[in-house]
Amino acid sequence: MSADAHDHPNFFQPLPGTKGGIASWIFSTDHKRIGMLYLYCIVAMFLVGLTLGFLIRLELIAPGRTIMGPQTYNALFTLHGVVMIFLVVIPSIPAAFGNIFLPIQIGAEDVSFPRLNIFSWWLYVTGAVLAVVSLVTGKGAPDTGWTFYVPFSAVTTTNVDVAVIAVFILGFSSILTGLNFITTLHRLRAPGMTWTRLPLFCWSLYATGWIQVLATPVLGITVLLIFAERVLGVGLFDPSRGGDPILYQHLFWIYSHPAVYIMILPAMGVISEILPVFARKPIFGYKMIAFSSLAIAFAGSLVWAHHMFVSGMSDTAVMVFSFLTFVVAIPSAIKVFNWVSTLYKGSIRVEPPLWYALAFIFLFSIGGLTGLVLGSAGTDVHVHDTYFVVAHFHYVIFGGLGFGLFGAMHYWFPKIYGRMYDKRIANWSCLIAFVGFNILYFPMFIIGLQGMPRRYYDYLPKYAEGHFISTMGSWVLATGLLLMFWNLWRGIRHGKPVGRNPWGAATLEWMVPSPPPHHNFEAEPVVTHGPYDYTGVKPDA
Amino acid sequence: MTGHDIKYDTGPDTGPDAGPNAVHDAGHDAGHHAVPVRTNMLVWAALMVLTAITVSVTSFDFGFLNVVVALTVATTKAGLVILWFMHLRYEGRVIRLMVFTAFFILAIAIGFTFFDVAYR
Amino acid sequence: MHEHRDYEGAKIGMWLFLFTEVLLFGGLFLLYAVYLHRYPAEFHAAGKDLSRIFGTANTIVLISSSLCMALAISALQRGKVLLSQRLVLLTVAMAGVFLVNKFFEWSAKIGHGIYPNSPGLLALPPGEMVFFNLYYLMTGLHGIHVIIGGAVLLYGWRLMRAGRVTPEHFVFLENGGLYWHLVDLVWIYLFPLFYLVV
Ligand code: HEM
Ligand SMILES: [Cu+2]
């Protein structure tokens, strides 16, 4: 390693002849450094969002006022949603791990547009700052929920203007990441890296990139319309001026349903990387998994109105969108079946990343299946806007994307830092978080079915038990997550040094030193086998 | 399908979208197709004629078809601009497929909204 | 790091960016479609209030500017740098003409008391209100794009003068041109939808 460090400094060290320092990071065009910037920002924002969620749960531990008033409560759940969705979940895996590993996985030196890449990070930071500004300026923090539904968002006196501008900028940042990845995958694959040898993580980022490029602009115009509604009095969603408020919901979900696939597809990609490595077996049905990513991206843009079954749409629309929603479940199920088949008869080596991947499969399956309960209009009428929905999307987003993200952290950690965290603690933190997660969110399905509406500050005594258990779960979950972050943090400083390929994986990032050098490869690699071909590949640790 | 279907032949990837890494000096702009002046002029003339048509046709009333006529003419004009002025005719399969996808998704967004508004 | 000059990649990137513009306007076209469906008579009445002369003139200007742009790129590819520079300037000049026209058109409407949230507008039937609100939003957003496009082309012109856009490396100008044609494309739809709705 020391010889490496002299001739080829790794990407944390300054390039020969340069000084390093903060400017060499925040103005860097190196995809790995940009990915790290994103990673740290996302983790920081995740901790903020976690704290907010924790406070919301604390307020709900008992009926009536516990620690805050109703207006504060409204601001908190709005902020929790905006921070988690736009600052954590949407960028998370693509902007952090996609940036770091996509170019290396295809044998490239960088992404196609490195300067656009750092620009997109700056947009992200600007958006984050504006989100904070919206809290402390104007007449109070936004209280609309992350969905900004009209008419309330058009008339509330709180500071929605700044918040929607923040969302607009964050959307732009996301678009640039997607645009960059699509171009990179088309143009910068190393010789021999055919489309059918592309790691599935890259395939999932490719599909995600298309959603980012094609759906996000619709969010852009939607929030601009809110701005126009409030500032110019345009009234396009105002019935007294001939407008139709339901069209707002159409526009919003034309983005935001596909956006849930921006969240989950990259996590699915991570799982497809982790499973074969720890089952020592090529992934089952490579082509179907790659194809189903594209199918999800496409079918996901046909179903948005399943969020609006009780909004006053036409019955025809209710039936059509309910039917189409069932269609999206097919490619999602294909993936789950293929993952499980990959494990079948594998020689499984149980390591922390695999635990996270298994947790993902379990939690995502619950989330996806309850999605079908919501997607079928007949049942959705009863549970729409109840805690059932809250439970559903936390299972898919937190249980799915969240555990996928943690899995990615544990899987690529040794590659990024050249060290290994304490695996025993990692396993324990996964278990604690998993248990806490279920204690926190499972009762929500039940009180949701019983009729507990979402976003309510207070509730009837009959829901008290469920809320109480749920809040208990939030403490367990928080313990698990803090333990996990602490363990990783300690691993960065004190972990045992590892070589290039501690897991024995076959994708290209494991062929370069850990941490990777500035230009990734000493010579352009020539790819001669598929990403999950383990013939002759052995863990070196 | 078996888990082994990822082993493929090693033939070089020289399709229209093989990366510049694969086709080594594809990074050079020169020698690209330049559209002849005459072609550009003809396209412009066609656009002008279509503009004249769409304006003059408004003096007739086809009822519901008015919008259809206006949009058909507009789409023809858009097609001319995209294919010739924007060189899509001379681009490879990849870019053409991408353009199609984008407009297709837009059509879905607008079209499917009518499942709601047309049946309320 | 050595500089990549990936011509094809730059173009793919630009097209992807154009898609985002298409879908940004797409949201507004969606609203237009729905409201036209809901208020055909009111749209018809309100459309008559817009000046067809201005609209047609601006259409001719914008289409011709697109021609100039296409010619500018062909010229550059053939090595006629000076001609290309002049054609780009001509394109920008036409963008200016378009904006001046737009300015007069908007001023006239505003002078009649028709603009978002104005008492004059609020006195109209709901369908006409929607029409004019969409008119201001869509032509306004388009106008912003004309300004940006003009600025990009001016910058391309400077790069040509500085010898950084050349007959060998012209992808900046080509991409600027693509953007400009997109601006034209949007107008090709706005024109019949607002000035000719019947
Ligand atoms: C098989 C897959 C899925 C189906 C069928 C499905 C279906 C649904 C339906 C019908 C609703 C609306 C419920 C209502 O408001 O009454 C909903 C809400 C939601 N879903 Fe899913 N879903 C699926 C997967 C996902 C995934 C993968 C994610 C994110 C990663 C996700 C995130 C959400 C969110 C955030 C909401 C609530 C939005 C809000 O109103 O705040 N869903 N889902
Ligand atoms: Cu959805």
- Is the confidence at residue A137, as pLDDT, over 70? yes
Nearest CA among C93, C95, C76 for reference residue C84: C76
pLDDT at B27: 39
* Position A69 confidence tier, pLDDT thresholds 50, 70, 90: very high
How many Å lie between the alpha carbon of B66 and the closest alpha carbon of chain C? 6
Partner residue opposite C9 with nearest CB, options A112, A175, A225: A112
Rounded to whole angstroms, the Cα distance separating C80 from A498 reads 59
- Distance, in Å, from the CA atom of B29 to the CA atom of C167, rounded to the nearest integer, reads 8
Average pLDDT over residues A363-385: 95
pLDDT digits over A225-282, tens only?
999 999 999 989 999 999 999 999 999 999 999 999 999 999 999 999 999 999 998 9
pLDDT at B19 over 70: no
Length of chain B: 120
CA distances from A79 to A175, A305, A453 (A): 22, 24, 19
Testing ligand 1's pocket by substitution, the residue of A249, A374, A385 carrying the most ligand atoms inside 8 A of its CB is: A374
pLDDT at B17: 47
User: Two tokens at A318?
Assistant: 């209710």
Which atom of ligand 1 sits closest to the CA of residue A145?
Answer: 41
Residues of chain C with pLDDT under 70: 1-4, 198
Q: What is the pLDDT of residue A7?
A: 64
Nearest Cα neighbor of A469 from A437, A512, A516, A493 is A437
Angle of CA points A449, A264, A41, to nearest 5°: 110
Which residues fall within 8 angstroms of residue A322, CB to CB, at 6 or more apart?
A: A306, A309, A375, A376, A377, A380
- pLDDT computed for residue C198 by the predictor: 64
Contacts of A240 in chain C (CB under 8 A): 126
**Looking at the complex, does the CB of residue A217 fall below 8 Å from at least one CB of chain C?**
yes
For residues C160 and C173, what is the distance between their CA atoms, to the nearest angstrom? 9
Type of residue found at B45: A
Q: Inspect the interface and report whether the beta carbons of B29 and C188 lie closer than 8 Å.
A: no
What's the gap in Å between A252 CA and the centre of ligand 1? Answer: 14
A328, pLDDT greater than 90: no
Query: Which of C165, C157, C180, C191 is CA-nearest to residue C18?
Result: C180
Q: Nearest Cα to B117, choosing from A215, A305, A299, A241?
A: A305
- Looking at residue B31, its pLDDT comes to 44
Q: Which amino acid is at A317?
A: A
Query: At B32, is the pLDDT very low, low, confident or very high (cuts 50, 70, 90)?
Result: low
> Residue A493 and residue A418: Cα distance in Å, rounded?
10
**Per-residue confidence (pLDDT) for residue B64, from 0 to 100:** 77
The count of residues in chain A is 541
A207 and A165 Cβ atoms separated by less than 8 Å: no
Residue C111 inside a domain? The answer is yes
pLDDT confidence of A31, banded at 50, 70, 90?
Answer: very high
For residues A83 and A124, the answer to whether their CB atoms sit within 8 Å is no
Q: How far apart are CA A105 and CA A99, in angstroms?
A: 11
A32 belongs to a structural domain: yes
The domain in which residue A493 lies consists of 28-511
Which ligand lies nearest to the CA atom of residue A261 in the structure?
1
Q: Is residue C2 part of a domain?
A: no
Q: How far is the CA of A250 from the centre of ligand 2 (A)?
A: 12
Instruction: List the single residue in B with minimal CA-CA distance to C31.
Output: B110
What is the maximum alpha-carbon separation in chain C?
63
A205, part of any domain: yes
Q: Which atom of ligand 1 is nearest to the CA of A264?
A: 30
Burial of A72 (0-12, 13-18, 19+ CB in 10 A): middle
Closest CA to B91 of A407, A438, C12: C12
Ligand 2 geometric centre to CA of A383 (Å): 15
Measured CA to CA, the distance from residue B105 to residue A158 in angstroms comes to 35
Q: Which residues in chain B have Cβ-Cβ distances shorter than 8 Å to C189?
A: 71, 74, 78
Is there an atom of ligand 1 within 6 Å of A259 CB? no
What pLDDT is stored for residue C6 in this prediction?
Answer: 87
Round the average pLDDT of chain A to a whole number and report it.
Answer: 93
Which backbone phi and psi does B55 adopt, to 5 degrees?
A: -75, -45
CA–CA separation, C192 and C129 (whole Å):
19
- Out of B40, B54, B86, the one facing C196 most closely (by C-beta) is B54
Assigned domain for A8 exists: no
Q: What is the pLDDT of residue A57?
A: 96
Amino acid present at A48: V
Using alpha carbons, select from A243, A240, A237 the residue that is nearest to residue A149: A237
DSSP symbol at B34: P
Q: What is the mean pLDDT of chain B?
A: 78
Residue C73 domain boundaries: 7-195
pLDDT of residue A6 exceeding 60: no
Which of A383, A389, A398 for mutating ligand 1's site (highest number of atoms within 8 Å of CB)? Answer: A389
Answer whether residue B8 shows pLDDT above 60.
no
- List the residue whose alpha carbon is closest to atom 3 of ligand 1: A371
Task: Give the residue on A whose Cα is nearest the Cα of B21.
Answer: A190
Q: Which two tokens stand for residue A368?
A: 């996806």
Q: How far apart are the first and last CA of chain C?
A: 58
Residues of A numbered 167-186 whose beta carbons fall under 8 angstroms of chain B's beta carbons: which are they? 186
Q: How far apart are CA A75 and CA A159, in angstroms?
A: 10
Report the chain C residue with the minimal C-alpha distance to residue A171: C20
Q: List, for residues A273-318, the tens digit of each pLDDT value.
A: 999 999 998 999 999 999 999 999 999 999 999 999 999 999 999 9
Residue A192: how many CB atoms within 10 A of its CB?
Answer: 19
ipTM of the complex: 0.94
How many domains in chain C?
1
Identify the three-state secondary structure at position A420: strand
Q: Between residues 7 and 36 of chain C, which touch chain B (CB distance below 8 Å)?
A: 7-9, 11-12, 15-16, 19, 22-23, 26, 29-30, 33-34, 36
C-alpha pair distances (Å), A443 with each of A73, A391, A403, A439, A440: 21, 8, 20, 7, 7
Checking if the pLDDT of B16 tops 80, the result is no
Residues of C in contact with B110 (CB under 8 A): 26, 29-30, 33
Are A83 and A485 contacting, i.e. CB atoms less than 8 angstroms apart? Answer: no
User: In this predicted structure, what is the pLDDT of residue A4?
Assistant: 46
Q: Which of A250, A251, A304 to mutate to test the interface with B (most CBs of B within 10 A)?
A: A250
State which H helix or E strand residue A497 sits in.
strand A496-497
Q: What is the mean pLDDT of residues A83-110?
A: 96
Q: Does A246 touch chain C (CB under 8 A)?
A: no
Q: What is the DSSP letter of A517?
A: B
Radius of gyration of chain C (CA): 19
Is residue A224 scored above 70 in pLDDT?
yes
The span from the CA of A91 to the CA of A465, in Å, is 36
Average pLDDT over residues A178-188: 96
Inter-residue contact A150 to A248 (CB < 8 Å): yes
Query: What mean pLDDT is predicted for residues A105-114?
Result: 95
Instruction: Supply the pLDDT for residue A120.
Output: 97
**What is each CA distance from C134 to A364, A457, B106, C192, in whole angstroms?**
42, 38, 19, 14
Query: How far is Cα A344 from Cα A358, in angstroms, rounded to an integer?
Result: 13
pLDDT reading at B3 higher than 70: no
Nearest-10 crossing angle of helices A31-59, A70-82: 150
Does any domain span residue C40?
yes
**A328 alpha carbon, closest ligand:** 1
Of B37, B81, B103, the CB nearest to C188: B81
Element (H, E) at A80: helix A70-82
Q: How far is A503 from chain B (nearest CA, A)?
A: 20
Q: C72 near B34, Cβ under 8 Å?
A: no
Say if the Cβ atoms of A217 and C39 lie within 8 Å: no
Nearest to B10 among A210, A281, A528 (CB): A528
What tokens does B13 get? 């990837």
Find chain A residues with C-beta within 8 A of B110's C-beta. none
Q: Are A209 and B102 in contact (CB under 8 A)?
A: no
Q: How many residue pairs from chains A and B have C-beta atoms closer than 8 A?
A: 103
- Which residue, judged by its Cα, is nearest atom 34 of ligand 1? A393
Q: What is the pLDDT of residue B59?
A: 82
- A536, part of any domain: no
Number of structural domains in chain A: 1
Residue type, A395: Y
Set of chain C residues whose Cβ sits within 8 Å of the Cβ of B120: none
Taking CA–CA distances from B101, the nearest residue in chain A reads A214
Q: What is the pLDDT of residue B115?
A: 96
Work out the minimum CA distance from B17 to partner chain A, whole angstroms.
Answer: 6
Distance from CA of C115 to the nearest CA of B (A): 25
CA distance A177 to chain C (A): 11
Asked whether the predicted pLDDT for residue A23 surpasses 80, the reply is yes
User: What is the per-residue pLDDT for C5?
Assistant: 72
Rounded-to-integer distance, Cα A365 and Cα A325, Å: 16
Mean per-residue pLDDT of chain C:
93
A210, A301, A529: residue with CB nearest B108: A301
pLDDT score, position B28: 40
Q: Is the dihedral of CA A119, A125, A131, A134 positive or negative?
A: negative
Closest CA to A57 of A447, A361, A470: A470
Q: How far is CA A136 from the centre of its chain?
A: 27
Task: Take atom 22 of ligand 1 and give the residue whose Cα is closest.
Answer: A371
Residues of chain A found within 8 Å of residue C16, distances taken between Cβ atoms: 178-179, 182-183, 213
- pLDDT of A19 over the 90 cut: no
**B5 to chain A nearest CA, in Å?**
7
A312: domain CATH number is 1.20.210.10
A404 pLDDT more than 70: yes
Which H/E stretch holds residue C138? helix C126-161
Q: Is the pLDDT of residue A465 over 80?
A: yes
Tokens found for residue A41: 């920002």
Given this model, what pLDDT does residue B65 score?
Answer: 84
Structure tokens at A237: 């969603």
**Neighbour-count burial for C67-85, b at 16+ CB within 10 Å, e otherwise:** bbbbbbbbbbbeebbeebb
CB-based contact A356:A403 (threshold 8 Å) = yes
Amino acid at site A72 = T
**pLDDT at residue B69 tops 70:** yes
CA of A44 to the centre of ligand 2 (A): 27
Kindly state the tokens that stand for C43: 């749209």
Q: Which of B20, B44, B86 sits opposite C6 (nearest CB)?
A: B20
Does A257 contact ligand 1 (Cβ within 6 A)?
A: no
Instruction: Look up the pTM and report it.
Output: 0.93
Helices and strands per DSSP (H, E), number in chain A: 19, 2
A414: number of Cβ within 10 Å: 25
Residue A35: pLDDT band (50, 70, 90) is very high
Give the Cα separation of A260 and B112 in Å (integer): 19
Structure tokens at A452: 């507990």
Query: What is the reported pLDDT for B25?
Result: 37
Q: Verify whether ligand 1 is closer than 6 Å to residue A394 (CB atom).
A: no
* C31 contacts A215? CB cut-off 8 A: no
pLDDT confidence of residue A538: 81
Residue of A nearest to C132 (CA): A234
Q: Which residues pair with A497 in a beta bridge?
A: A419
Q: Say if residues B74 and C189 touch (Cβ distance below 8 Å).
A: yes
Residue B11 in this model has a pLDDT that exceeds 80: no
Tell me how close the Cα of A204 comes to any Cα of chain C, in angstroms. Answer: 18
